[in-house]
Amino acid sequence: MFKTPYARFAVTMALVLGIALSPITAAPARADAQSDRALAIILGLVATGLILDKHNDRRTTRRTPPQPVRKELPARCFKRYETRDGAKKFFGARCLEKHYRQARHLPQRCEVTIKSRNRRGERVRRDVFSPKCLRREGYTIAGRR
């Protein structure tokens, strides 16, 4: 609610003064100038605190523009995979998740599942991203132009 230390300080001081001056207002009801002055001071401090708080809220609601998605993919994730149709190069989904911060923003239509062989020669399914599709979407490989 109170984002800046100055606003917290102003509201805290208003509350402290309100509590400190409460014995003055707790006296039997009489219409003298001293109690009216104390009440006016308390109300003035509370109003000042509310104005400062509103002013600070207005200033802090300005948002910085969102950072653009960096469209340079790490070259280490562009790997060669052995498929039924021979060796092909793809971006590995797990590698991109590890080494590319905005991996969750990659277009899902570019993700494909291929059948490949692992290091032991067993057939496995892998989720990869098509480099042609990513290139059409504006992605490049870091370090290449």
Q: Across the 145 residues of the chain, what is the mean pLDDT of every consecutive 10-residue run?
A: 67 74 61 72 80 62 66 92 88 93 91 89 91 93 75
Residues whose CB is less than 8 angstroms from the CB of residue 21 and which lie 6 or more positions away in sequence, other chains included: 38, 41, 42
Model pLDDT, residue 61: 57
The whole model's pTM is what? Answer: 0.51
Structure tokens at 32: 């003298």
- DSSP classification of residue 144: -
C-alpha to C-alpha distance for 123 and 28, rounded to whole angstroms: 91
Q: Is 134 left (phi over 0), alpha (psi -120 to 50) or beta?
A: alpha
Model pLDDT, residue 82: 85
Backbone angles phi, psi at 65, to 5 degrees: -65, 145
Q: Tokens 């993919």: give the residue.
A: 73
**Cα-trace Rg, the chain:** 32
C-alpha to C-alpha distance for 62 and 89, rounded to whole angstroms: 44
Alpha helices by DSSP H, listed for the chain, are: 5-20, 22-25, 33-60, 93-99, 131-136
- 104-121 burial string, b = 16+ CB within 10 Å, else e? eebeeebbeebebeeeee
C-alpha to C-alpha distance for 132 and 78, rounded to whole angstroms: 12
- DSSP classification of residue 63: -
